[in-house]
Structure 1
Amino acid sequence: MFRSLFARFLAVLLLATSLPALAEEAPDAQIKRVSDEVLTIVRQDKSIQAGDTKKTLDLIDAKVLPNFDFTRMTSLALGRDWRSATPAQRAALTAEFRTLLVRSYANALTKFKDYQIAVKPLKLAAGDSDVVVRTTVRKAGSSPDTVDYSLEKKDGQWKVYDVAVAGVSLITSYRDSFGQEVKAHGVDGLLASLKTKNAQNAAGNSKK
C-alpha cells in the first residue's frame, strides 16, 4: 500500500526538482514554483499521460537525476552495511538503487493531471543546510496526503535525499529488506537482487 502511494508522489517530486532553481531560492519556494509548472506540463503532455515510458525516462535522466543525492540515499538505505561495502560495491549499489527508483515510479506520472499540491511555508534560518519541506497532495474528491521532502544543501544546491509519505520514509521502507538481503547473501547478493529487479522492470516497460 505504501509503495503504491509513494509511487505517485515520488513521480511528482521527480518532476518537481527537474527545473533549475532560481539563485538563492528557498527550498519550499522552489518546490512550490516548480510543482506548479510541472503539473501544467503533465496536464498538457499527452505522451506522458498515455504512458510513454521512453519519453518519461529520457526526461528524468536528462533533468531530474542531478537534483538527487543518490549516494546518500543508498547509504541511508543500507545503514551500517554501507560501511562494510567496498568503493566499487557502493558505486554499483548506488547506480542500481537509482535505476530501481526511477524505473519503478516513472509510469506514475500519468496519474498526476488531477492532483493539486500545497507547499507549507518553511522557516529557513541563516546557515540551514538540512531541511524538510512539508506538502499536502490532494486528488479531487479524496482526502489530502502528507508528503515531506528532506533536502540537504551541497555546494549551493538543494538536493533531495529522502521522501516521507504519511510519515513513512522511502529510506526506512527499503532499509529492512536491504538489511535482510545483506544478512542472508551479503552485499553482492543485494546487488544481484537489485540488478534482477531492474532487468524485470526494464522488460516490463519494453512491452508497453
Structure 2
Amino acid sequence: MFRKILFMSAILFQLSSAQAETVSPYKVLENTGKGLFTRIAANQQELAKFPELMRTIVEEELMPHVDYQYAAYKILGKHIKKTTAEERKNFVKSMRHYLIRTYANALTKYTDQKVIYEQEKPTNGKKVVAISTRIVDKNAPEIELQFKMRIHKKSGQWKAYDMVVEGISLLQSKKAELSRKIQQQGVAQVSLELASIAK
C-alpha cells in the first residue's frame, strides 16, 4: 500500500512538472500581472496609509516569477570570473532586495489602469522571448513595456529577467551604472551599497 502511494505521488509530481513546463511565457506574464495588479488595486486604501505594503505585494506576487539570479549574473558580466562563490551569493541577495525596492517604487504610480498583454505566440523552442505590454491610462500617455522572459533549463519555468521601458533596458542601464563601480571598488563593496539603498 505504501509503495502504491509513493508510486502515485511520483506520477503526480511528474505530471505537475510536465504541466509547469507547458505553460507559455505569455501566460506566465499575464497571470502574474493580473495577480499583481488586482492585489494593488484592491489595497489602495491600505497602501495610502502603509506604503511599505507595496514591497510585500511585490515580494509575494512578482518576485517568484523574476529570475533575479540570472539578472545579477548578467550585471556582473566579465567581473563574475573574479568573484568568489560567497561574493556572488551576496551580490544576488543584494540585487534581489534592490529589485523589490525598484519595482515597489515604480508600482506606486499604478492605481487601476488598463493593462494590455501581447497575444500568445508559439515560442518555437526559443530559450528567450520578449513580450510587449501596454499600460493604458485615460489621463496620461500610454506606457510601452517589454518583458524579457527566459526558460530555466532544469525547472522548465519561464521567468522575467529584464524590463524594457520605452526602449530602455533596466538591466542594461544597471549594468552600465555598476560595471565601473565593480571594477573600481569590487563586488563586495557594491553589494553593500545596493543593500543599503534597498533598505
SS at match of 2:141: coil
Structure 2: stretches of 5+ with no match in the other structure: 1-18
The residue that corresponds to 2:23 in the other structure is 25
Partner amino acid for 2:159?
K
Change in Cα spacing, 1:39 to 1:105, as seen in structure 2 (3 Å) is closer
* Structural RMSD (CA): 2.3
Change in Cα spacing, 1:170 to 1:48, as seen in structure 2 (3 Å) is farther
In terms of mean alpha carbon deviation, does 80-89 or 122-131 score higher? Answer: 122-131
SS at match of 2:140: coil
Q: Superposed, which structure 2 residues align to 1:117-132 within 5 Å? A: 117-132=115-130
Equivalent of residue 41 in structure 1, options 39, 42, 45:
39
Q: Superposed, which structure 2 residues align to 1:40-79 within 5 Å? A: 40-50=38-48, 52-79=50-77
Displacement of 1:160 = 0.9
User: How many angstroms apart in 1 are the aligned matches of 2:36 and 2:58?
Assistant: 12
Displacement of 1:190 = 1.4
The answer as to whether partners of 1:132 and 1:149 remain within 8 angstroms in 2 is yes
The residue that corresponds to 1:14 in the other structure is none
User: Is 1:159 equivalent to 2:135 in the alignment?
Assistant: no
The answer as to whether partners of 1:131 and 1:151 remain within 8 angstroms in 2 is yes
User: How many angstroms apart in 2 are the aligned matches of 1:180 and 1:144?
Assistant: 34
The answer as to whether partners of 1:162 and 1:169 remain within 8 angstroms in 2 is yes
User: Is 1:93 equivalent to 2:91 in the alignment?
Assistant: yes
In terms of mean alpha carbon deviation, does 149-158 or 56-65 score higher? Answer: 56-65
Partner amino acid for 1:74?
A
SS at match of 1:79: helix
Partner amino acid for 2:132?
R
User: Is 1:142 equivalent to 2:140 in the alignment?
Assistant: yes
Paired positions, count: 178
- TM-score, structure 2 normalization: 0.78
The answer as to whether partners of 2:30 and 2:117 remain within 8 angstroms in 1 is yes
Displacement of 1:107 = 4.0
User: How many angstroms apart in 1 are the aligned matches of 2:53 and 2:42?
Assistant: 14
User: How many angstroms apart in 2 are the aligned matches of 1:61 and 1:184?
Assistant: 32
SS at match of 1:191: helix
Deviations 1:42-98 (A, max 9, x none): 222234531524433333333432222111100111211122211110000010011
The answer as to whether partners of 1:48 and 1:56 remain within 8 angstroms in 2 is no
Change in Cα spacing, 1:188 to 1:122, as seen in structure 2 (3 Å) is same
